Amino acid sequence: MSAFKFIQKYFQQLKYKNSSLFFLILSYLNINLEGNSDPFLDYVSSILILHIILLLGTINIIFYLLSNYLILKYDIETKFPRLKK
């Protein structure tokens, strides 16, 4: 059974209105939220997940640009020809 099918089967067993990774983490930590919770709580959890995704994407872009800068600065491709594709 692939990981995607396992997660999909697990989400089908949950009784939450919107299934996301946030609720999977909450259920793993045994923190129970009702399925028909306050709309404000749904909104806040959605905004939290969007901010986490935005933070991880920004960190990814920063490290990508930093690695390109360091490769160009120290001229790694000519010093270590084995690393060249």
Angle between helix 3-13 and helix 21-28 axes, rounded to 10 deg? 80
pLDDT digit string (tens) for 8-60? 676 666 655 555 666 666 667 676 666 666 778 777 877 887 898 899 999 99
Residue where the block lists tokens 């390109």: 68
Asked whether the beta carbons of 33 and 16 are under 8 A apart, the reply is yes
Q: How confident is the model at residue 66 (pLDDT cuts 50, 70, 90)?
A: very high
What is the per-residue burial (b if ≥16 Cβ within 10 Å, else e) of 19-58? eeebbeebbeeeeebeeeeeeeebeebeeeeeeeeeeeee
Q: Which pLDDT score, from 0 to 100, does residue 57 have?
A: 93
pLDDT surpassing 70 at residue 73: yes
Cα–Cα distance measured from residue 83 to residue 67, given in angstroms and rounded to the nearest whole number:
14
Q: Which pLDDT score, from 0 to 100, does residue 18 have?
A: 55
